[in-house]
Structure 1
Amino acid sequence: MTSLWLANRPDRPLAPALAEESARRADVVVVGAGITGLVTAVLLARAGKDVLVLEARTAGAGTTGNTTAKISLLQGTKMSQILAKHSAKVARQYAQGNLEGQQWLTGYCQTHGIDLQHEDAYTYAQSSDGVAKAKAELEACRTAGLDVEWLDDADVPFPFHGGVRLADQAQFDPMPLLDNLIAELGERNGRLAEGARVQRVSHGRGGLTLRVQTTSGDVDVHTEQCVLATGIPILDRGGFFARLSPHRSYCLAFRVPGNITRGMYISTDSPTRSTRSAPTADGERLIVGGAGHTVGRSSDPAASVQELATWAKLHWPGAEQTHYWSAQDYTPADALPYVGPILPGSDKIHVATGFDKWGMTNGVAAALALSSRILGGRMDWAEAFASWSPHELSGLSTAVQTNLTVGLNMAKGWITPVTRIGAAAGENCGVVSGPPWHLQADSVVDGVEHTVSPVCPHLGGIVNWNDADKTWDCPLHGSRFTPDGTLIEGPATRNLTRSG
């Protein structure tokens, strides 16, 4: 399961993982080598900072390399969601931050010869039930200052009951961008270490110390300031795990006979349908996204992915699937990203999270805001992205409901497995069974059996099997693990305990 962007990339060795003592010090350490982390690192390096980027896997292995990569200011029904909780001023600040992120990103691509395609973006109703939401988004976008228009019809092969259009947005393959950012970082004496998972951060008299797990052992890295650009912060201080809801969504790429629908589309009504085209060396592809669910809480995500594939083949007869992948995103309780200090009044550790599936523009906006703050400045629109702000009260009821659900899933996870005692995992399946004092998670993938503890090392939730990704997913805060228990992503920083 490899994304269109990550497939067929040339092999390259991992960036060195801190073998030398001298490599373990920097003015600023950025954790996470996706779009947010690498743009932040480059901006700081341009200002003369000594920057080290630590990446647990490989650059782009997280959401950036698995996104639909739409560089759009029209973001589904995002502006309606913001205006339901915040003032028009805040909505305009959010739009301005995304505009500056978009302008920086497209400008960088043009300067460095990175291919991108300019396309119109659409938020549309796929049934009469979705029209009211689409109309509301039209007015919300106008309130935020976006030059949108309403269309009653569109030349598309799928149901279209009216929608919003924003002209001249963009889309691209994000990996050439990361390649160029890594190259520029090196040219400016910055460093990237891959296969370097940060497990904890502590304060000391000399600044911050990061405990980092590498393939050759654990090491300490010392820095004055740290940026956590890891999707969701890997530190519990600040409680961001309780202010975010983790979501997975799935993408399919198809080779399609004839012409592929132009433009970037996303529906207002469920089930969500997201489409765009993508040029490749082997011809153009259609990308279809959807089948989303809260991490660890879908009983049969594979069935939803199959339904998405069926939908695509229905509306594009003869479509041949070439790629399949998934991504993880985090929805903030108050509808706005959290970008800034991990705790109020702190200037040592910063976070960037809550982009809610629109990380291409929000991620760069976050990098602009963070680098400006670290260098002593402030973006005019930064209030809408603040990690701590009075406007967070607007998300209190959502956060309370989210955490009540988390509590229910915690209890359910510990109690339900007793009903499965003696159950065996079938091929490409996983099952958690046993009494609460002796739970085990068994899986069989491609004939290989694994048994691990199902207890998530983050806060003790019980993982569930994801039959689409073939992973163990925690329903509390979204940590994910391979069948053998190896940590993939999430607020957890350690693997599941292995049995035997």
Structure 2
Amino acid sequence: MTSLWLDGADTVPDDDLPAPGAPLDVVVVGAGLTGLTTTLLLARAGLRVACVEARHVGAVTTGHTTGKVSLLQGTHLSRICRHGSESTARAFVDASREGMEWLLRFCGDHGVVTQRRAAVTYAATASELGAVEREHRVAGSLGLPVEWRERLDVPFPHVGATVLADQAQLDAMEVLLALAAQVREHGGTIHQGRRVTSVSTSGDDRVAHLEVGHDLRARHVVLATGAPILDRGLHFARLEPQRSYAIALAGGPDLDGMYLSAGSDSRSVRDAPGGVLVVGGSGHVVGRTRSAQAHVEALRSWATAHWPGTTETHAWSAQDYRTPDGFPFVGHLPGGGGRIHVATGYEKWGMATSVLAARAISGDILGAEPSWAGVLHRRVPHPSGLAEVARFNLGVGASLVTGAVRTVREHLPGVSGRTQAYECGVVGVCTHLGGLLRWNDAEDTWDCPLHGSRFTRDGEVLEGPATRPLRKRSQDAPG
């Protein structure tokens, strides 16, 4: 499954790794939008920065986004207001606005094409109307000039919508390519195919240990990897990994908005240059669905029902992480002496939030944090947020039990067929914390239902907190 943005995108050349022991100011782990923006901001300030990516630039979430840049984010604003104070919600909106403005200004300065569109959160059915009306009220109270619409010029069912004008959409890979070019122009370096497996402390420095046996020593390390690859902050226990799907359809109409339904089985619609429609949704918690392919087919059926003359050209999926209170985690990792920084929990709104995180982290390192950063760092957990943490971990516990039952059943004598893991020659146990993996029939991957780590058919790490490949099964091992 290749995304519209990754298909045909230029590759980013690699730099030679710094010599062992070579002094660096910052090592940034992850070359998505957060990682490259952080690298650029620090390189512009004159710091010696190396960005290290396990696969290639844009390989994970940024390369698989739908590319919407908006301050109206589905029903996200009403969610964060349920779990936090109004002042914290206002700080988040201010931070997101600054992130969006920075990103669009960067695109304008460096030839990245964007399209201005209204952002629309709509109710597909009467049961969703209350949630959309609530989002409309909250967005207005936070200073966003939303307008209410009873009818939209679209072919799919709806009963009301809140609309925020003058938002934007873009090709995420074009942004990353422009960022990478600017990183190099300002003296930063980019190293792909280099997985960081751990970070240790040596005096005042932090040492990033690479899978290839190479170490990078720096004053600071930034983890911009989606789920943090270090467990010190127990972020894996406070994040719910979510996977969603998207398809691109040729022959579609030009749209004047970017549309997102308010229901749990959401539908996201935008256009792209050249008469292309991008339709997304059908999300679920990673590794906790019987058939990922069924989610893709549901999305496909919905899209073709409303745009019957179109032709599918691409299908892909993306992963992001939900936090208990809806606010991203951006700050220091415990035990890092204030020198290991982390950003995660964007809840599928990474275009503005990635830049928000990059500006907060780079400002912290440079001693010039934005005014809103401290408010987000110091927010007090709301009881409802603590209840969400409990819910996340109840889901993990249920997955452990059902996974164990499934494994016993598949290995009982007399059950026909061998397990998929046996056929692939790997042990279907996650190398992060031992979760029993589920086969993803849409993408031919192993997905962990505990904390969202994902692996190829052959066991190589794709994403998530895991850093080690799956163990190979011996040829004579039982199925």
C-alpha distance in structure 1 between counterparts of 2:146 and 2:335, whole Å: 37
Name stretches of at least 5 consecutive residues in structure 2 with no aligned partner.
475-479
In the superposition, the TM-score normalised over structure 2's length comes to: 0.95
Q: Contact 2:26 / 2:220 at 8 angstroms: preserved in 1?
A: yes
Question: Size of the alignment, in residue pairs?
Answer: 471
C-alpha distance in structure 2 between counterparts of 1:344 and 1:356, whole Å: 26
Counterpart of 2:338 (choices 347, 360, 371) is: 347
**Residue type of the alignment partner of 2:247:** L
Does 1:494 pair with 2:465? Answer: no
**Residue type of the alignment partner of 1:385:** L
C-alpha distance in structure 1 between counterparts of 2:453 and 2:431, whole Å: 9
Counterpart of 1:268 (choices 262, 265, 272) is: 262
Does 1:235 pair with 2:233? Answer: no
Aligned to 2:162: 164
**Deviation of the 1:142 alpha carbon:** 1.2
In the superposition, the TM-score normalised over structure 1's length comes to: 0.91
Aligned to 2:477: none
**Deviation of the 1:455 alpha carbon:** 1.2
C-alpha distance in structure 2 between counterparts of 1:479 and 1:330, whole Å: 12
Q: Contact 1:302 / 1:468 at 8 angstroms: preserved in 2?
A: yes
Distance 1:33 1:392, change over 3 A: farther
C-alpha distance in structure 2 between counterparts of 1:181 and 1:190, whole Å: 11
**Deviation of the 1:423 alpha carbon:** 4.2
- SS state at 2:157 partner: coil
C-alpha distance in structure 2 between counterparts of 1:149 and 1:297, whole Å: 37
**Deviation of the 1:16 alpha carbon:** 3.5
Aligned to 1:447: none
C-alpha offsets along residues 93-117 of structure 1, whole Å, 9 cap, x if unaligned?
A: 1100000000000000111111000
Aligned to 2:429: 455
Worse-matched range after superposition: 108-117 or 392-401: 392-401
Q: Contact 2:208 / 2:221 at 8 angstroms: preserved in 1?
A: no
Greater relative CO, 1 or 2 (CA 8 Å, sep 6+): 2
C-alpha distance in structure 2 between counterparts of 1:344 and 1:310, whole Å: 49
Does 1:469 pair with 2:443? Answer: yes
- SS state at 2:347 partner: coil
Distance 1:5 1:272, change over 3 A: same
Aligned to 1:285: 276
- SS state at 2:83 partner: coil
Counterpart of 2:182 (choices 181, 184, 187) is: 184
**Deviation of the 1:394 alpha carbon:** 4.6
**Residue type of the alignment partner of 1:486:** E
C-alpha offsets along residues 307-326 of structure 1, whole Å, 9 cap, x if unaligned?
A: 11011011011111000010
**Deviation of the 1:210 alpha carbon:** 1.2
Identity %: 46
C-alpha distance in structure 2 between counterparts of 1:93 and 1:224, whole Å: 29
Counterpart of 1:323 (choices 305, 314, 321) is: 314
Aligned positions of 1:208-219 closer than 5 A:
208-213=206-211, 217-219=212-214
C-alpha distance in structure 1 between counterparts of 2:434 and 2:121, whole Å: 39
Q: Contact 1:231 / 1:330 at 8 angstroms: preserved in 2?
A: yes
C-alpha offsets along residues 185-244 of structure 1, whole Å, 9 cap, x if unaligned?
A: 11111111101100000112141111101xxx3111111101100011000001100111
- SS state at 2:213 partner: strand
Counterpart of 1:226 (choices 202, 221, 231) is: 221
**Deviation of the 1:415 alpha carbon:** 2.9
**Deviation of the 1:174 alpha carbon:** 1.2
Which runs of at least 4 in structure 1 moved beyond 4 Å after TM superposition?
A: none
Q: Contact 1:93 / 1:383 at 8 angstroms: preserved in 2?
A: no
Aligned to 1:39: 37
- SS state at 1:37 partner: helix
Distance 1:310 1:336, change over 3 A: same
**Residue type of the alignment partner of 2:64:** N
Q: Contact 2:245 / 2:295 at 8 angstroms: preserved in 1?
A: no
Aligned to 2:17: 18
Name stretches of at least 5 consecutive residues in structure 1 with no aligned partner.
426-430, 433-440, 444-449
C-alpha distance in structure 2 between counterparts of 1:265 and 1:335, whole Å: 20
Distance 1:113 1:466, change over 3 A: same
C-alpha distance in structure 2 between counterparts of 1:405 and 1:311, whole Å: 29
**Deviation of the 1:408 alpha carbon:** 2.1
